[in-house]
A and B are shown apart, each in its own frame.
Chain A
Amino acid sequence: MPKLTVNGQSREVKASPDTPLLYVLRGELEVMTPKFGCGLAQCGACSVLVDGEEMRACITPIGSLDGKEVTTVDGLPARWSKQKGLAHNPDRLHPVQQAWVDEQVPQCGICQFGMMIKVTELLEHNPKPSDADIKAALTTSGPSPHLCRCASYAAILDGAHRAAKLMAGEA
């Protein structure tokens, strides 16, 4: 039986190793924040972090994730607490999530789970990104651009800058 480590927990799953991670997260493990958008790695709505790198759950077979750590938006607060050595606090959001609230980023919000994952990946590598860095991360760094049909890109940029400040303790 394949094993997956999702949001810090080791989980045994029934699905075969060639099953895309997205169907296992949503169907078996009740981890619902990665969303189905295209099934073609063209939009980013299903993005997760795999050992800190953004990947598309809709095309990633679970058999390729042995020994790796999967993080979804649900797991971002615990990831932040662990990185910062903070005590568990169920009300605390990851700075990227908090910034998304502060800046009122989402319109419909379906793409934002992938956007927050991508921006988290960016900020873990580049704590003070420029506009151009953020745009590049969202457009050319992965298998496809992260698409927002509501075109909330201006708010996403504001959110990313705010998250950078929150992570640096400047806000």
Chain B
Amino acid sequence: MADIMETPGDFDIHGASLSRRGFIGAGGVLLVMLGLPAGRANAQTNSLDAAKPASWIEIHADSTVTMRTGKCDFGQSSIYTAYRQIVAEELGMGVEAITTVIAGDTDRTPDGGGTFGLLRNASVNMRKAAAYTREAVLELAAQRFGVARSALSISKGVISGGGKSATYGELISGQTLRLTIPVEGSLTDFRGLVVTGNPPMKNPKDYTEVGKPILNPIIAPKVSGKTQWVGDVKLPNMLHARVIHPATLGSTLVAAGKLDPAQYPGARLVQVGNLLAVVSPDEWQAVQAAQVVAADTKWSDWAALPTSEKLANHLRTKVDWSIVPPTKGASKGDTATPAARHHSGAYFMPFLKHAPIGPSVSLADVRPDGSVMLHTHTQNAQFLRAAIAKMLSVGEDKVVIRTYPGPGHFGRSNGGNAGSEDEAVLLSRALGVPVRVQWMRHDDMGWSTQSSAMVADIAIGLGPDGRMLTYQATHSGPPMQDDRPIGALLAGLPTISAPTPDNPSPIHTAKMGIADRWIYGAVPHVSETGRGTFQIGEHESPLKVGLRDHSMRTPIQFQQNFPREVAISEAAMLAGKDALQFRIDHTEDPRVRAVLERLRVESGWDNRPSPAAKAKGAKVLRGRGVSMMLRDNGYWACAAFLAVTPATGEVKVERMVLVADPGIVVNPLQLRRQAQAGCLMGISEALHEEVSFDTGAVTSLDWSTYPILTAAEMPDLKVVIAPYAGADVYGQGSESANALAAPAMAGAFLDATGRPARRIPLRPEYVKAMLA
């Protein structure tokens, strides 16, 4: 064993603390630890193995770096591309030095928090941690070289000054160094820990790693078949489970169906409250047996949903919007100011499904000592850990979440569960062996959360000059974030609260905020109001289930941006103005103007008022529309070119052009791929998607009853990345691209037909009604 010599004395690094814990004979490491506020240390029940380093950034004697993040990858690639670039940049290293990224697992990552806003808030943690680290290494170099820190410079991982130079590895070689950086927050809260303080950050003008189009290193192992996906994990003595969910979203179990042991030897029926499942060592047997048992199981009747056909009417006439206090968005002037001409419209956005290609799957191992190891695919592992501990009434130290690649589900698990996790835990606890719960397609469609519906009423007053004088909008809908695990609800076990107006967790509120940033600053009189309510059917359901809602991509903003942007296109037509120029004329933000001007050029936009001139006797009508969104300091604009066949109601997207100014572009290659796919998913939502439900249950249960975009429907697609010079924040990717398609397509529909499309999807039956 190497000699270890404790040396006294810590060095202050911009509020972080560098401690030389010892010298060792060989190797050497710099660990970046988190320093919790005084009094909070004991509250952090992290299940980190004390024998293993829990550092955010770990620099080794060979100058390679391991970084750890509680965030996961869902196809964005950011934690394997952008995060490595951001960390390397602040360290002054090449990105290739960041050789290892450890993500998600609650016992191997230090920070927690959900996988959302990866380049917004979440990247700031990594960036600050790296900046503290670089400053600490500069301190080491200053001591070794005998020069002031200000005399040092870093390039490609080499620190130089006073005629001397050394690599990161050389500076830490032979030592064990711990840098403790200040953080606040709570590990297992929704948002996790936040790095505090203000270490000096590198000037974006000096960037060398950020901006490179580096490849995503997890793609090669995925396509070669080497990656272990969440559904591939197996444990000794594991049983396969298929859950038999209730007949409706409010049905309780009356009598479980019979399982014939002669037909299905080895299969067993398990019941925990209203949670019913068939388990078997053989997966196909579990599938078959569950089908037979399900057909023979009796559930109580329940019918309290308004049906999807009557949903818009239900929201408009049956909901008491006075129970949940309203919120205000943009507000200025007096929208009662008399106007020369008026547009008013009622808009509707349906429930949407996250609809991952692979249904939720999890493997849980609840051991005799009560500890839980849960193998799953989640966007918020630490918050899931807290939910599992709460459900079981055990300490969070008893629960470990391990994460794996899995099907993208676009926000559904950013509050912990995607669906099957808690059911696997409860079944494993009941049986004393590891249990793998694979939801079938109908489970995932029928029993997952969904992106909630919204209605909007928008009134726009035009002045005598045809400019917008007043803009008044009311956005009304159920909440967007229910993180109660379904298995816990079925089993009658503890969960966090459903969305309520006064929820102690602000994200889980029933209040409707205004999420769409107002960008038309030249309009003198503006009033935006949000009206919230409870989840549909939740209070009526004996299970307290009903239609549970959950954020999906641009949550709430998508549902509010669609009506706003469509209404503005309608107002432009009323004013006899070009829809793109009309937007430019009403903004005071140079970045809004710049992306719209760029869109005009890139799309070959023809300046003219809507509607488009119709050729005599034309069977197909063509038009173009525009939409604009400001999200997370990213400015996005979209032009859609549609063909509408009135006789059949068919809408075909022929061309899409997207212009993005996301600020600093970390990785243009990955951003382009994200924007392309995000835009196409937006077309999918606008053309096809709507959750259907009857009075008791979701009836969109497979890909024929919830169709999504096919390759054949892909239009000609152009993505232009046009960052604004001087922007100093990192841009987000596919979320905004996703939201822009629907309002641009509705604008094109208006241009083609002269009739507004105030709802999606643009399915033939709705299109025919719009044209009737």
Which A residues are closer than 8 A to B by beta carbons?
A: 15, 19-20, 23, 26-27, 32-33, 35-40, 42-43, 45, 72-74, 77, 93, 97, 100-101, 104-113, 116, 134-136, 138-140, 144-157
Instruction: Report chain B residues within 8 Å CB of A45.
Output: 357-358
In chain B, positions 35-75 with a C-beta closer than 8 Å to chain A are 74-75
CA distance A33 to B224 in the complex (A): 9
Most buried by A among B222, B223, B677: B223
Whole-angstrom distance from the CB of A48 to the nearest CB of chain B?
12
Give the complex CA separation of A143 and B624 in angstroms: 34
A104 touches B229 (CB 8 A): no
Residues of chain A within 8 A of B438, CB atoms compared:
36
Query: Any chain A CB within 8 A of the CB of B717?
Result: yes
Please, how many angstroms separate the alpha-carbon atoms of A149 and B678 in the complex? 10
Task: Kindly list 6 other residue pairs between chains A and B, CB separation below 8 angstroms, not including A104-B216, A110-B408, A139-B711.
Answer: A36-B361, A43-B357, A101-B223, A148-B677, A149-B356, A154-B717
A39 cross-chain contacts in B, Cβ below 8 A: 287, 440-441
Which one of A35, A100, A149 has the highest number of Cβ atoms from chain B below 10 Å of its Cβ?
Answer: A149
Closest B residue to A97 by beta carbon equals B223
User: Which of B215, B225, B358, B406 has most chain A Cβ within 10 Å?
Assistant: B225
In the bound complex, do residue A151 and residue B709 qualify as a contact, i.e. CB atoms below 8 Å apart?
A: yes
CB distance from A55 to the nearest CB of B (A): 17
Task: Report the minimal beta-carbon distance from B645 to chain A, rounded to whole angstroms.
Answer: 19
Within B208-234, the residues touching A (CB, 8 Å) are: 215-216, 219-220, 222-225, 228-229, 231-232
Closest 9 CB pairs of A and B: A107-B75, A108-B408, A151-B680, A108-B75, A139-B712, A138-B711, A145-B710, A151-B681, A42-B703
For this complex, 17 residue pairs linking A to B, each with C-beta atoms less than 8 Å apart, are A23-B284, A26-B232, A42-B702, A43-B703, A106-B222, A107-B673, A108-B407, A134-B711, A144-B703, A145-B710, A145-B711, A146-B711, A147-B703, A149-B708, A150-B677, A151-B684, A151-B708
Complex-state Cα separation, A105 to B216, whole angstroms: 10
Which B residues touch A116, using CB under 8 A?
A: 223
A104–B670 contact, CB under 8 A? yes
Complex contact B704–A42 (CB within 8 A): yes
Give the distance to chain B from A152, nearest Cβ to Cβ, in Å. 5
Partner of A110, one of B224, B358, B702, B710: B358
The CA of A56 and the CA of B381, in the complex, are separated in Å by: 33
User: Least Cβ distance of A26 to chain B in Å?
Assistant: 8
Q: Does B355 contact A (CB under 8 A)?
A: yes
In the complex, the answer to whether A101 meets B220 with C-beta atoms within 8 Å is yes
Q: Does the CB pair B710–A139 fall under 8 Å?
A: yes
Partner among A23, A26, A35, A42 whose Cβ is within 8 Å of the Cβ of B358: A35
Closest Cβ of chain A to B317, distance in Å, is 34
**Which A residues touch B75, using CB under 8 A?**
106-109, 150
B215/A156 in contact, CB under 8 A: no
Contact B674 A154 (CB under 8 A): no
Q: Which residues of B are found within 8 Å of A108, using beta-carbon distances?
A: 74-75, 356-357, 405-408
Q: Which residues of A contact B76 (CB under 8 A)?
A: 107
- With a cutoff of 8 Å between Cβ atoms, the chain B residues found around residue A106 in the complex are 75, 219, 222-223
Q: Which residues of A contact B357 (CB under 8 A)?
A: 35, 37, 43, 45, 108, 110-111, 147-149
- Neighbour of B677 across the interface among A38, A73, A112, A152, CB < 8 A: A152
Evaluate contact between A153 and B714: CB separation under 8 angstroms: yes
A160 to chain B, nearest CB (A): 10
Q: How far is the CB of B281 from chain A (nearest CB, A)?
A: 10
- Evaluate contact between A38 and B702: CB separation under 8 angstroms: yes
Cα(A53)–Cα(B674), bound, Å: 31
- Contact, CB under 8 Å: B408 / A140: no
Q: How far is the CA of A161 from the CA of B148 in the complex (A)?
A: 56
Closest chain-A Cβ to B318's Cβ sits at a distance in Å of: 33
Contacting residue for B673 out of A38, A134, A155, CB 8 A: A155
Which residues in B have their C-beta under 8 angstroms from that of A109?
A: 75, 219, 222-223, 405
Contacts of B225 in A (CB 8 A): 32-33, 72-74, 113
Smallest CB-CB separation from A20: which chain B residue? B284
Query: What B residues does A147 contact at CB under 8 A?
Result: 357, 703, 708, 710
B702–chain A nearest beta-carbon distance, Å: 6
Q: Looking across the interface, which residue of chain A has its beta carbon closest to that of B681?
A: A151
Interchain nearest-CB distance for A87 vs B (Å): 18
- Whole-angstrom distance between the Cβ of A115 and the nearest chain B Cβ: 9
Known interface pairs A35-B358, A149-B708; A19-B284 also in contact (CB < 8 Å): yes
CA distance A23 to B436 in the complex (A): 14
Check if B676 is an interface residue, CB within 8 A of chain A. yes
Instruction: Determine whether B613 belongs to the interface, using a CB cutoff of 8 Å to chain A.
Output: no
Contact status of A151 and B712, CB under 8 A, knowing A97-B223, A106-B223, A109-B222: no
Interface core residue of A26, A38, A157 (most chain B CB under 10 Å): A38
Residues of B within 8 A of A112 (CB): 222-223
A153 in contact with B680 given A97-B224, A145-B712 (CB within 8 Å): yes
Task: Please name all residues of chain B whose beta carbon is closer than 8 Å to the beta carbon of A15 when the two chains form the complex.
Answer: 284
Check A35–B677 contact: CB distance below 8 A.
Answer: no
Q: Report which residue of B224, B356, B407, B678 has the largest number of chain A beta carbons within 10 angstroms of its beta carbon.
A: B224
A41's closest neighbor in chain B, by CB?
B703
Q: Which residue of B lies closest to A148 (CB)?
A: B357
CA distance A134 to B712 in the complex (A): 9
Q: Is there contact, CB below 8 Å, between B283 and A27?
A: yes
CA distance in complex: A26, B287 (Å): 14
A36 touches B231 (CB 8 A): yes
CB distance from B241 to the nearest CB of A (A): 14
Q: Report A102 CB to chain B, min CB distance, Å.
A: 9
The distance in angstroms between the C-alpha atoms of A107 and B621, with both chains bound, is: 35
Residues of chain A within 8 A (CB-CB) of B223 are 73, 93, 97, 100-101, 105-106, 109, 112, 116
Provide the bound-state CA to CA distance between A111 and B407, in Å.
Answer: 8
Q: In the complex, which residue of chain A has the Cβ closest to the Cβ of B712?
A: A139
Name the distance in Å between B208's Cβ and chain A's nearest Cβ. Answer: 22
Among residues of B, the one whose C-beta sits closest to the C-beta of A24 is: B284
Partner of A154, one of B219, B441, B677: B677
Residue B669 CB within 8 A of the other chain: yes
Min CB distance A119 to B, Å, is 11
Q: How many angstroms between the C-alpha atoms of A108 and B746 in the bound complex?
A: 29
Inside 8 A of B712's CB, which chain A residues have their CB?
Answer: 135-136, 138-140, 145
The residues in B between 257 and 275 inclusive whose CB is less than 8 angstroms from any CB of A are none
Which of A39, A116, A153 has the most chain B CB atoms inside 10 A of its CB? A153
Instruction: List the A side residues contacting B74 at CB < 8 Å.
Output: 108
Chain B residue nearest to A42 in the complex (CB):
B703
The reply to whether the CB of B282 lies closer than 8 angstroms to some CB of chain A is yes
B711 cross-chain contacts in A, Cβ below 8 A: 134-135, 138-139, 145-146, 148, 153, 156-157
A23 to B240, CA, bound (A): 12
| CB-based contact B714/A101 at 8 Å | no
Q: Whole-angstrom distance between the alpha carbons of A100 and B714 in the complex?
A: 19
Q: How far is the CA of A157 from the CA of B673 in the complex (A)?
A: 12
Cβ of B112 within 8 Å of any chain A Cβ, yes or no, is no
Among B235-282, those with CB < 8 Å from A are 282
CB nearest neighbor in B for A151: B680
The CA-CA distance from A136 to B712 in the complex, in Å, is 6
Residues on A with C-beta less than 8 A from B743 are none
Looking at the assembled complex, report how far the CB atom of B262 sits from the nearest CB atom of chain A, in whole angstroms.
15
CB distance from A47 to the nearest CB of B (A): 12
